[in-house]
Amino acid sequence: MKATIDVKDQTFYGRDFLTLLDYTPKQISQLLDKAQDIKSNKAAYAEVLKGQSLGMIFENASTRTRVSFEVGMTQLGGHALFLSPKDMQIGRGEPVKDTAHVLSRYVDAIMIRTNSHELVEELAEHASVPVINALTDYYHPCQAMADLLTILEHKGSLKGLKLAYVGDGNNVAHSLLAAGAKVGMDISVATPKGYEVNATIFEKAQKAAEETGASLMQTHDPLEAVKDADVIYTDVWASMGFEQEQEDRLKQFSAYQVNDQLIALAKDDFIFLHCLPAHRGEEVTSEVIDGNRSVVYDQAENRLHAQKAIILALLGK
């Protein structure tokens, strides 16, 4: 990670945003405060990034990530460039190191959505501008920030709440564990056997949780995970890159659907989250995701505000 300039209001300047595990609880709280202010005072930030550019590298298809980053830069007075590997030399074998050095001469920050977390770390190592992880096989930190913002809006606080994640132990689950550990929110993850979260990432999150008192749990029992939950969260059973496993996963995950029977175990005032896109009738029923406890559209909107806060912090604004 790049060096931090530790002066007032500059604790994020020049850093990378690769995983929430790299940030302190106080820093995450500051980002959430900034996101709330940006959301409430859009006009005040209209020209903050005038003349600055964000390079956006997309290896995978995207709706929310691309639109929220591109619109966010525009609303901040800056400019975003969509960069597909098939249109770049990196897609034809140019070393990541060279791409990092060259893009750093052109843009003020780089956002990347790709499969390999190691590639993002390599890009960040060689880039002289901040690098933002917009999704890898290990982490989805921008989504987690939007999730925290949404929970904060609907619950008023984060510490001491219980979030139950039901489904695949994927990048979203990893980032929720990291987020919960940092803000003092209890996280219970229920997955089928063989689909647990990465053991190393879970251990890192457990260590971070020692500072905030958060409780992190893994189980194969979705009923145990959801009991008395304040927040229920799920994701598709076959994420991008695992489409060939779709039919097998439908069988393996059939007992992990978020439905009326499962949510009955949560607190009466629970909220339902899903990072979208959703497959109604698979990981969640229409009755739940379209019901009155669902806040998935607030959650999707908050990608915009959370990411604006991240960009501004990394650029020292």
- Which residues are part of a known binding site for carbamoyl phosphate? 62-65, 89, 113, 140-143, 275-276, 303
Q: What amino acid occupies position 39?
A: K
| Bond from prior residue into 277 cis (ω within 30 degrees of 0) | yes
Could you tell me which residues are annotated as the binding site?
A: 62-65, 89, 113, 140-143, 171, 235, 239-240, 275-276, 303
**Amino acid identity of 218?**
Q
Question: Residues forming the annotated binding site for L-ornithine?
Answer: 171, 235, 239-240
From 16, 137, 257, 275, the catalytic residue: 275
305 belongs to the catalytic site: no
**Annotated active-site residue in 117, 140, 174, 305:** 140
275 is catalytic: yes
Q: Residue with structure tokens 């009326």?
A: 260
Catalytic site residue from 108, 235, 305, 307: 235
**Residue 303 annotated to the active site:** yes
Catalytic residue of the set 117, 249, 303, 305:
303
> Which residues lie closer than 8 Å to 21 by C-beta, 6 or more apart?
178, 181, 182, 204, 205, 208
Is residue 140 flagged as an active site residue?
yes
Nearest by Cα to 27 from 16, 17, 38, 12: 12
CA distance linking residue 170 with residue 242, whole number of Å: 11
Catalytic residue among 15, 113, 117, 174: 113
**Residue 36 designated active-site:** no
User: What's the CA gap between 133 and 145, in Å, rounded?
Assistant: 12
Q: Is 246 noted as a catalytic residue in this protein? A: no
Active-site residue (options: 75, 137, 143, 249): 143
Active-site residue list? 113, 140, 143, 235, 275, 303
